[in-house]
């Protein structure tokens, strides 16, 4: 299983041994013999974005005209959006007439 995370500044990449800077992304993946595994006895590894990319765990896609980097496998799909939602309009409150100013 792949788990994308944001570093608190105390995470070390298990591949390059560099610290992942605060607020940078990193990946936790369970591996057995260097291959991703669902086995409960698999070892948990942490990789910076560069090392995760080198190991093939990162996918770059174009979604909604924007380039995104993701750790997820397969196509990302959002739930369908319906435009026919029935929402009652709020009552229109007429503006109060301004009181005449006395001079």
Q: 5: Cβ–Cβ under 8 A, 6 or more apart, which residues?
A: 11, 25, 26, 27, 28
Domains and CATH numbers, the chain: 2-70 (3.30.1740)
Confidence grade of residue 45 (pLDDT, cut at 50, 70, 90):
very high
Residue with token string 């991703």: 36
Q: What is the reported pLDDT for 85?
A: 47
Reply yes or no on whether the pLDDT at 13 is more than 90: yes
Instruction: With cut-offs at 50, 70 and 90, classify the pLDDT of residue 98.
Output: low
> Is residue 8 predicted with pLDDT exceeding 80?
yes
Phi first, then psi: what are they for 58, rounded to 5°?
Answer: -105, 140
- Note whether 12 and 24 are within 8 A (CB): no
| Residues 56, 49, 18: CA angle, nearest 5 degrees | 120
Residue 57: closest CA among 47, 44, 66, 67: 47
pLDDT band at 91 (very low <50, low <70, confident <90, very high): low
Distance of alpha carbon 76 from alpha carbon 70, whole angstroms = 10
Question: pLDDT tens digits for 63-84?
Answer: 888 888 888 775 545 444 445 5
């Amino acid at each position: 299983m792949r788990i994308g995370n944001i570093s608190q500044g105390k995470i070390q990449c298990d591949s390059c041994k560099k610290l992942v800077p605060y607020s940078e992304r990193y990946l936790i993946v369970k591996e057995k013999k260097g291959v991703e595994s669902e086995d409960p006895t698999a070892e948990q590894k942490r990789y910076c974005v560069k090392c995760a990319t080198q190991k093939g765990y990162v996918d770059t896609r174009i979604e909604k005209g924007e380039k995104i980097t993701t750790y997820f496998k397969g196509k990302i799909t959002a739930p369908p959006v319906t435009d026919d939602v029935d929402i009652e309009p709020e009552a229109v409150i007429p503006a109060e007439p301004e009181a005449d100013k006395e001079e």
